[in-house]
Amino acid sequence: MANPFSKQISNRNFLSPIGFKFTLAKFPKVTFFSKSARIPEISLNTLQQSNYLKMIDVPGDQLNYGDFTLKFLVDENLENYMEIHNWLTGLGFPETTSQYKNFITENQIQDSKNAFCDGTLRILNNNYKDVGLVKFKDLYPIYLNSLEFEAQDSDLNYFTAEVNFKYTVYTILRPDGTTYESEP
């Protein structure tokens, strides 16, 4: 007779919302001050199958991924903010077409396709050990919020910047890099 508890969750601890670390390989200054990150939503489109009574929804064949949003504290010298700002400017070249070329050259990018960057969101347990990795492929920023200076603020609130990224796909892996479909 099979053990009825064999299919139950073995670890009864809850995942903490403060246990994460985000890294961008080409832009390490953003990593240190990460304040919040969100695993983007994922949805499957549906198709409709004809039936003589009514249309029947069936699973489609395309996944839709939401944007990846990261909030980070801005350092006093604006270094981490400017990394994202310059990345956006380099991709969009608002003043001259040479801005894109300068962005590629300054960041030692060999191929313009490499203007994208892979990123990893490490999910940590209560002991700050990795329990999962969310690997983003070909990230690039599409939005960076403004920084509003206000001389009349009575409380000191440090700046938090928000950046939204588009990407090709993300994969959730175990800490050792294996997929969740395979045995641990």
Instruction: For residue range 38-86, list pLDDT tens digits in order.
Output: 999 999 999 899 988 899 989 988 999 999 999 999 999 999 999 899 8
3-class SS at 79? helix
Go through the chain and tell me how many residues it has: 184
Q: Which residues of 106-136 are buried (b: 16+ CB within 10 A; e: fewer)?
A: ebebeeeeebbbebbbbbbbeeeeebbbbeb
Instruction: Enumerate domains of the chain plus CATH numbers.
Output: 20-40+65-173 (2.30.110)
Model confidence at 152, pLDDT cuts 50, 70, 90, reads: confident
Model confidence at 155, pLDDT cuts 50, 70, 90, reads: confident
Answer whether residue 107 shows pLDDT above 70.
no
